[in-house]
Structure 1
Amino acid sequence: MKRLRLFHFDIKTYGNYGDTLLFETVRELFEGFAGGDAFEIVQSRQLRDPVTPRLVDFINQNVDAVVVGGGGLFLSDTNPNQRSGWQWNISLDLLRRIEKPLIVFAVGNNRFIGQADFSDPFREHVNLTLEKSVFFGLRNHGSVESIKEYIDEPNRDRVVYQPCPTTLSSFLYPDLFQAEIPHERRISAESIVGKRQTRVGFDAEKIYTDQIDVLQKLSHEGWQIESVPHARADMGFHDRLKETGIVSDESVLWGNRDVLYQGVNYFADLPIILGTRGHAQMVPFGMGTIPLSLHVHHKTRYFATDIGHEEWAIDPRADDFQDTLYTTINEVHERQPELRKELAGVRQELFDTSMENLAGIYEALTGEAATPSFRPLTAPERRTAARAYDSSMRFDKVEQDNGQLRRELSKVRKELEAASASGTSRTSIVPEGLRRRLRPLRKKLLG
């Protein structure tokens, strides 16, 4: 069996635990498929950075295929750019120049409720991306159906379902997974209601207060209340919850270089989570936690529906929100053993779908069949993976700094040429603004 060399456009970060774990699980899923003999990700780059001709040349000369994703990449105002209209920052011209097949993997339509439609050149770009792909898999059925609206009709059937690899953590980390946990009254919470939501009528203050009121009531009834912020933006709710004095434990899953596998360890024995982020559903679910969420984004309802419990994405704008939230938490607690078994069956279906998809990708690229199987990382291999992740992040930061430096130098060079053409002395050509730009550049160049 030929091991294919893959290039991965990803987003490595310690600032948002969902993204921290997500892109590593994509790599582990590909590299663990078929016993580790089918795929190898040999290089990666931040997909939000502008793709350059030099990078396209590297891809064309050194790899067999290109993985894009996963994540909620179909969003226009995170990493806004006029090259694509979504988060992958590659122009139509350079996209056409890529000679290797694309694999769009576990990507989501991340448009917020009430958010404006995608602008040009999104429709042209997403159709070209699909045409150049051997696989175009979206992470929930809601994304599959909503993105089809932008796809030319003859190709719509090529948009398929590929679960987010974070939902498969019990298969990726079987040594950390616990099939049975104590049946205890314990819940952890994460919450962020951001500007995009408040713009369309979500009342962040009321939603936070309503959740805290319910959690305080549960605490008075003997529940153990914990807090699990996934990103800096979650800290406002986290701090308010701690001020009540009911938080018995906290696990801050962002902002440090040792966080990669902390979340999956934490969720391994957590009965219930209440969150607003998509990955505050998916990552806990992957380790067996029952995921309750607020319907503050289409993706939370999409995921709850995919796992057979649309009612677990609760509308915080409803008049009876507090009562519904309190009742739902108690109901899933009462049914915890039964629900964990049910969700284990759902995870098995998602894993089987992923194995079939990877087998199809391999056959599409090689013409050879691959028997679906999977080899997870061992604990020592995970430690090595964490070090490699950190090194890759450092390399990406250097590349970003170099790119900024090159762009700044190019701008300075043009201004120097313009000043010289006008006959201005080179010692006095520049206004103070340009001199200020040159000083930090000089410091960088000199070390």
Structure 2
Amino acid sequence: MLGKIWKALRTDPAGFPARAASAAAERGRLRAFRLKGMPAGGVVHYGVHRNGNAGDTALFTATRQLFDTRFGPQNWTRLPVRSAVAASDIDRINARAKAVVVGGGGLIIPDSVSGSLSGWQWNIAIEDLRRLERPLVLNAVGYNNFHGQSGFAERFAEHVVETVRKSVFVGLRNTGSIRSLSEHLPPELAAKLRHQPCPTTVLSHLMPDVVSAPATGRHLSINLAYDRVERRFNGRVEECVKDIADAARHMADKGWRVTVAIHDPRDRFFLPLLRRFGLGFDVVDIAHAGVPAIVKFYLSTDLTIGMRGHGQMVPFGLKRPIFTLSSHPKMNYFLEDIGRTDWGVDIREPGFRDELIAGMEGVAADPDQTRATIVAAQDRIWALMQDNLALCAQVF
């Protein structure tokens, strides 16, 4: 624990108090659940319910909004997905809960939870999973392995089969995740997997009173992701950042104002590099922000280029143009599913600068057409989600 605290202090000294307070609140909710239980007929939501990553903050909130919008306000009990589930937790859930929702987010990844009881991020032993009597819903969960990442622990194979078998609904956030997870399942269980995009991709439907018409401006937002940096950049960090800085400077020379958005404190690593390569920019730190501040920032953008999944899905969900800096398979999965693989460039390949410039200029050249494309894709996603939620109606 002391090692984690020291690392957090070194990585993000300014944000440490907010991050620590949010983490303490998450632990407090778990303690309260174990001491006092939960309201009868409530819904347990296993997720990352603390600040420190803007994407997590937005997606888990949007998940609850999605169910509340369709089925009316639910009485939610938020529990941390990465903390080990105790046998007594299952007893409480069986006695009081209406349902259990797990997700969304890239929970299917082998190394994010040290010593995970399941081999993935939902940290529950298979024996306790089998004892769960309440309906289980997996919503917009992602298969999240990075390029070149090793396989799962041996326990994962049995656990994921049991999870899918037990679930009343298994929604994966992209069809690429469906393909990847299907390889771990027998055909009859693979057939249960449904495409359920992340609720952040339809924020304009979940909060229509907030999403405004776009201003006609030139505000370029950039998000670069530092975690697992060698896998993301294929060992070419400085070369890739230089190409991104050069491309952004090209847009700045045409009158675009550039902002670097910090989704995770570790993303600050790139600020000195971008400056060294001659890019001038503002910095907006939304790592510890609440959903209103995250939404407000992305509503101010006219084009976002980003490496994080939610650094693209959130502005897309707010009807703001995007262009993807692809460094992870999930980024391509999202573009495939909206039918716009041309809205991205693989930064792991050398010499992508000119392709990035052309892509940004192409998206920005006709903002009305770009917006129409986004709206049409969102409407398809929303209709798909409504069909999927109909399958959960008997639970909620």
The residue number in structure 1 matching 2:43 is: 6
Q: Does the CA contact (< 8 Å) of 1:197 and 1:296 recur in 2?
A: no
What is the alpha-carbon root mean square deviation over aligned residues?
2.0
3-state DSSP of counterpart to 1:261: helix
Matches within 5 A, 1:99-138: 99-138=133-172
The residue number in structure 1 matching 2:335 is: 304
CA distance in 2, matches of 1:199, 1:164: 22
CA distance in 1, matches of 2:234, 2:330: 18
CA distance in 1, matches of 2:314, 2:365: 22
3-state DSSP of counterpart to 1:228: strand
Report how far residue 82 of structure 1 moved.
4.5
CA deviations over 1:70-111 (Å, ceiling 9, x no partner): 100000110132521100100011111111111000000000
Query: TM-score when scaled to structure 2?
Result: 0.85
| Aligned with 1:31 (options 68, 76, 82) | 68
Quick one: which amino acid aligns to residue 263 of structure 1? I
Query: TM-score when scaled to structure 1?
Result: 0.76
Cα separation, partners in 2 of 1:164 and 1:205, compared to 1, 3 Å = same
Cα separation, partners in 2 of 1:26 and 1:173, compared to 1, 3 Å = same
Q: Does the CA contact (< 8 Å) of 2:200 and 2:313 recur in 1?
A: yes
CA distance in 2, matches of 1:353, 1:69: 18
Quick one: which amino acid aligns to residue 42 of structure 2? R
CA distance in 2, matches of 1:4, 1:32: 18
CA distance in 2, matches of 1:149, 1:61: 35
Quick one: which amino acid aligns to residue 59 of structure 1? I
The residue number in structure 1 matching 2:322 is: 291
The residue number in structure 2 matching 1:334 is: 365
Matches within 5 A, 1:68-83: 68-83=102-117
Greater radius of gyration (CA): 1
3-state DSSP of counterpart to 1:33: helix
Cα separation, partners in 2 of 1:250 and 1:175, compared to 1, 3 Å = farther
Number of residue pairs the alignment of both structures matches: 357
Cα separation, partners in 2 of 1:131 and 1:315, compared to 1, 3 Å = same
CA distance in 1, matches of 2:47, 2:116: 20
3-state DSSP of counterpart to 1:339: helix
| Aligned with 1:267 (options 298, 311, 321) | 298
Report how far residue 309 of structure 1 moved.
1.1
Matches within 5 A, 1:50-65: 50-65=84-99
Stretch of structure 1 that moved more, 216-225 or 125-134: 216-225
The residue number in structure 1 matching 2:377 is: 346
Quick one: which amino acid aligns to residue 166 of structure 1? T
CA distance in 2, matches of 1:145, 1:196: 25
Report how far residue 4 of structure 1 moved.
5.8
Report how far residue 266 of structure 1 moved.
1.4
The residue number in structure 2 matching 1:279 is: 310
3-state DSSP of counterpart to 1:89: coil
CA deviations over 1:374-414 (Å, ceiling 9, x no partner): xxxxxxxxxxxxxxxxxxxxxxxxxxxxxxxxxxxxxxxxx
1:93 counterpart = 2:127:
yes
Report how far residue 349 of structure 1 moved.
1.2
Report how far residue 126 of structure 1 moved.
0.7
CA distance in 1, matches of 2:364, 2:58: 27
Cα separation, partners in 2 of 1:216 and 1:200, compared to 1, 3 Å = closer
3-state DSSP of counterpart to 2:184: coil
The residue number in structure 2 matching 1:394 is: none
The residue number in structure 2 matching 1:172 is: 206
The residue number in structure 2 matching 1:238 is: 271
CA distance in 2, matches of 1:259, 1:188: 19
Quick one: which amino acid aligns to residue 30 of structure 1? F
CA distance in 1, matches of 2:230, 2:341: 20
Structure 1: which 5+ residue stretches go unaligned? Answer: 367-447
CA distance in 1, matches of 2:275, 2:76: 43
Stretch of structure 1 that moved more, 281-290 or 240-249: 240-249
The residue number in structure 1 matching 2:58 is: 21
Matches within 5 A, 1:249-268: 249-255=282-288, 258-268=289-299
CA distance in 2, matches of 1:200, 1:232: 18
CA distance in 2, matches of 1:196, 1:246: 21
Report how far residue 317 of structure 1 moved.
3.1
Structure 1 vs Structure 2: percent identity of aligned residues?
A: 34
Structure 2: which 5+ residue stretches go unaligned? Answer: 1-39
1:207 counterpart = 2:207:
no
CA distance in 1, matches of 2:193, 2:62: 22
CA deviations over 1:329-388 (Å, ceiling 9, x no partner): 11111022101111111111111111221121013x37xxxxxxxxxxxxxxxxxxxxxx
CA distance in 2, matches of 1:303, 1:355: 19
3-state DSSP of counterpart to 1:202: coil
